[in-house]
Amino acid sequence: MDREPDEKYPPIEPYEQGMLDVGDGNLVHWEVCGNPDGKPALVVHGGPGSGCGAHTRQYFDPDRYRVVLFDQRGCGRSTPHASDPAADMRHNTTAHLIADMERLRVRLGIEKWLLYGGSWGSTLILAYAEEHPERVSEIVIPAVTTTRRSEIDWLYRGVGKIFPEAWDLFRAGVPEAAGDGDLVAAYARRMESPDAAVRAKATADWCAWEDAVLSQETYSGPPPYSGRPGGARQALVRICSHYFSHGAWLEEGQLIRNAGRLAGIPGVLVHGRFDLGGPLITAWELAKAWPDAELTVIDGAGHLGGPATTRAVLEALDRFAAQ
Residues involved in catalysis: 119, 275, 303
The angle that helices 196-213 and 230-245 make with each other, rounded to 10 degrees, is 80
Cα dist. 56→98, 102, 109, 296, 299 in Å?
Answer: 20, 21, 22, 20, 23
Question: What are the φ and ψ backbone dihedral angles of 173, each rounded to 5 degrees?
Answer: -70, -20
Other residues' Cβ atoms within 10 Å of the Cβ of residue 25: 11
Query: In Å, how far from its chain's centre is CA 49?
Result: 8
- Distance, in Å, from the CA atom of 191 to the CA atom of 181, rounded to the nearest integer, reads 17
Instruction: Determine the Cα–Cα distance for residues 6 and 313; give it in Å rounded to an integer.
Output: 10
Edge-to-edge, what's the strand order for the sheet holding 267-272? Answer: 16-23, 26-34, 65-70, 39-43, 113-116, 136-142, 267-272, 293-298
Return the closest-CA partner of residue 92 out of 103, 102, 81: 81
- Spatial distance between the Cα atoms of 1 and 10, rounded to a whole number of angstroms: 10
